[in-house]
Structure 1
Amino acid sequence: MFVTDSSRLETLRRQLGETEALIERPASAFQARHGRPMPADNVWLVQRKAERDALVKLSASMQGSPGRPCQGAGSPTAGPTTITIDTTRHRGTQP
């Protein structure tokens, strides 16, 4: 379970900027090397964009309700937000 409040907003903004830069460097290098954008289904890119999107949601929720603790990725619900991460789909071995 993840809970935070607006006292961490600047840290989350910094982390968002770092995550966006982390996405941009390899995406630009891929474009330069292959002459086309990195595929949208690239597992690394998908995960980094999910992290970025969660930070954007959390930041927006914190700005919309300053002083209120935020749970999950800015979830407006009273309980925890359940997420599922498929760790077997992109591995080279079959179960």
Structure 2
Amino acid sequence: GLPPLAGFFGKLHLFWCGWQAVLYFLVSIGLLTSLFSIYYYLKIIKLLMTGRNQEITPHIRNYRKSPLRSINSIELSMIIYVIASTILGISMNSIIAIAQDTLF
């Protein structure tokens, strides 16, 4: 996660709790994997900002919309993921309440 976003603060909290629990090895592995993921995130953001597509594979660069369908599979999967994450985000309080009732 990048600093202004929620994923960053979630990871920061996990790393802080791991550090306080003296789980240094797990925290170091988490930090290392976060550094690798930030490298790839920034690579994609750079590509989006500059508009250059030299680093894109030829399969994606030559991707064209199917003339038979108005929505292709990539667009459909993105729509499904956006709807699912929106529903989860809206109903997260009730999911957490159910989990708390189950555990405590």
**TM-score > 0.5 by shorter chain:** no
**Structure with the larger RCO, 1 or 2 (CA within 8 Å, 6+ apart):** 1
Decide which structure has the larger Cα Rg and report it: 2
Which TM-score tier does this pair reach, normalised by the shorter chain? Answer: 0.3 to 0.5
| TM-score between the two structures when normalised by the length of structure 2 | 0.33
Bigger proportion of residues as strand: 1
| TM-score between the two structures when normalised by the length of structure 1 | 0.36
